[in-house]
Amino acid sequence: MGRRVQCQILRRGFDSDVFVQNGLVTFYAKCGEIELANKVFWRLSERTIVTWTSMISGYVQNGQPLEALRVYGQMRKTNMKPEWITFVSVLKACGQVGSIDLAKWMDEYIASSEFKDAVVVNTALIDMYAKCGSINLSRDVFNRTKDKDVVMWSAMIAAYAVHGEGQEAIDLFKAMRKAGVPPNDVTFVSLLSACKHSGLVEDGWKLFHCMSEYSIQPRHQHYACVVDLLGRAGYLDRAYEFIRNMPMEPGLSIWGALLTACKIHQHVPLGELAAERLFSLDPYSTGHHVQLSNIYASARMWDRVSKLRVLMKEKGLSKDLGYSSIEINGKLQVFQVGDKSHPRFKEIFEELESLERRLKEAGFSIDAESVLHDLDHEETEETLCNHSERIAIAYGLISTPPGTTLRIIKNLRACVNCHAAIKLISKVENREIVVRDANRFHHFKDGNCSCGDYW
């Protein structure tokens, strides 16, 4: 469709208009055609700050934060002056990268600019710090901003949510009401998400039912949060009952939440029911097949596991590749499972082996059989200690002075086995380890994790 639109534009002679060209950049980016957007962008004879911002935000929207930052760097070389909207996109890119050093640098840079008190920029800062693993720095920005609006309050609540600080989120909601700022529907999504990450079932249930007091109609997303809230806590029948009483047709996220809950609590019948709905709504999602397979694996129903694997093969589905990244001295290192591509891989694997020995001495054991069949993660049949996050941690341990906090970003959900191992690593190595997985943050310290094993 994009090409046809472009042909039309060229034929009608609008191709020299900077507004039209910028529209084209934005249009391509929003269609996911980021390469085409980039092509148009570099072909332009004139680029305004809006054009640059469109290109940066285009990369952010397409999940390519490093490219976004590269374009920002190129923009700076042209002496183009950023506007506050430009910073918002750049901050978003920093949050996606997850580098706390970069985040601090941008914060300081903005603090010296004319935008230091802009609510929208500060909201982006709060979100950025939260996504880089520092809830405290998020809170600092929040505290120093004077006229907080509903979006800023909601962003701070969402920050507590991903860090598993449910009570803080609820307390902030109370403060928000006291400050006279009315919540919106997004505030409640964040609040419910905070409750479900912390197991605050009754608080979440009450919050869901008080939405009408603010004249907010619960949307599908709110219902999905409640299903997750109940399901994760083990109230599977209550969750299913809730779904059946919904005033709208339950969609993907509802059945997805139920399926996740069935995996955690090993409930085969409801899991099969949820998966059936999911397969009919979205037949080619790898994730749903993998989750059902994992439910069978945890119930040790190996025949069904292999049947499902055959089905996946027939459908041409293969599992997503897991990877983890860690930043050392400003350089981002990405590792896959069993990754031996790093120049220091020998040292890394020696460290992994020595770690595993120390963990065993400290009494660490694993449920090898079910882990090996847990398709969710990155299994190869060789060893269990070479998951990408373990390699990233080993690399972090040999590359930083003792006591340095390690910050890892993983694209999948944390694996049960690694989660247990990292808790122990934080103790035997006396390190804080912050892991951002696909859903939330885990802060490991002294043998414990901030999620309280509830994730």
Return residues touching DNA (CB under 7 A): 18-19, 22-23, 26, 48-51, 53-54, 57, 61, 83, 85-86, 88-89, 92, 119-120, 122-124, 127, 149-152, 154-155, 158, 161-162, 184-187, 189-190, 193, 196-197, 221, 224-225, 228, 252-253, 256-257, 260, 413, 438-440
What's the closest the beta carbon of residue 338 comes to DNA, in angstroms? 25
What's the closest the beta carbon of residue 22 comes to DNA, in angstroms? 4
For CA atoms 377, 380, 386, 388, give the dihedral sign: negative
* Main-chain dihedrals φ then ψ at residue 364, nearest 5 degrees: -80, 130
Q: Which helix (H) or strand (E) holds 435?
A: strand 433-436
What's the closest the beta carbon of residue 189 comes to DNA, in angstroms? 4
Q: Tell me the C-alpha to C-alpha distance, in Å, between residue 157 and each of 51, 153, 223, 282.
A: 33, 6, 19, 32
Q: Which helix (H) or strand (E) holds 444?
A: strand 441-445
Question: For DNA, which is the closer residue by CB, 149 or 350?
Answer: 149
What's the closest the beta carbon of residue 297 comes to DNA, in angstroms? 17
Structure tokens at 60: 């952010």
Structure tokens at 130: 């939260």
Question: For DNA, which is the closer residue by CB, 152 or 391?
Answer: 152
Q: Which helix (H) or strand (E) holds 406?
A: strand 406-410
* Main-chain dihedrals φ then ψ at residue 30, nearest 5 degrees: -70, -25
What's the closest the beta carbon of residue 129 comes to DNA, in angstroms? 12
Sort 442 into a burial class: Cβ within 10 Å, 0-12 / 13-18 / 19+.
buried
Question: For DNA, which is the closer residue by CB, 228 or 389?
Answer: 228
Structure tokens at 295: 């439910």
Report the distance separating Cα 203 and Cα 168, nearest Å: 12
| Number of C-beta neighbours around residue 183 at 10 A | 22
Question: For DNA, which is the closer residue by CB, 431 or 436?
Answer: 436
* Main-chain dihedrals φ then ψ at residue 278, nearest 5 degrees: -65, -40
What's the closest the beta carbon of residue 170 comes to DNA, in angstroms? 15
Question: For DNA, which is the closer residue by CB, 158 or 355?
Answer: 158
What's the closest the beta carbon of residue 10 comes to DNA, in angstroms? 18
Question: For DNA, which is the closer residue by CB, 266 or 333?
Answer: 266
Residue 190, amino acid: S
* Main-chain dihedrals φ then ψ at residue 177, nearest 5 degrees: -65, -40
What's the closest the beta carbon of residue 360 comes to DNA, in angstroms? 32
Question: For DNA, which is the closer residue by CB, 51 or 388?
Answer: 51
Give the strand order in the sheet containing 406-410.
331-336, 323-328, 406-410, 433-436, 441-445, 448-449
Decide: 364 and 421 in contact? Cβ < 8 Å. Answer: yes
Question: For DNA, which is the closer residue by CB, 256 or 396?
Answer: 256
Question: For DNA, which is the closer residue by CB, 151 or 334?
Answer: 151
Decide: 371 and 416 in contact? Cβ < 8 Å. Answer: yes
Question: For DNA, which is the closer residue by CB, 26 or 38?
Answer: 26
What's the closest the beta carbon of residue 406 comes to DNA, in angstroms? 23
What's the closest the beta carbon of residue 270 comes to DNA, in angstroms? 15
Question: For DNA, which is the closer residue by CB, 188 or 296?
Answer: 188
- For strand 406-410 and strand 433-436, is the pairing parallel, antiparallel, or unpaired? parallel
Decide: 308 and 296 in contact? Cβ < 8 Å. Answer: yes
| Number of C-beta neighbours around residue 147 at 10 A | 8
What's the closest the beta carbon of residue 6 comes to DNA, in angstroms? 16
Report the distance separating Cα 40 and Cα 18, nearest Å: 11
What's the closest the beta carbon of residue 415 comes to DNA, in angstroms? 14
Rg over alpha carbons for the chain, rounded to the nearest Å, is 24
Q: Tell me the C-alpha to C-alpha distance, in Å, between residue 163 and each of 153, 168, 198, 447.
A: 16, 10, 9, 18
Question: For DNA, which is the closer residue by CB, 23 or 32?
Answer: 23
Closest of 30, 81, 80 to residue 55, by C-alpha: 30
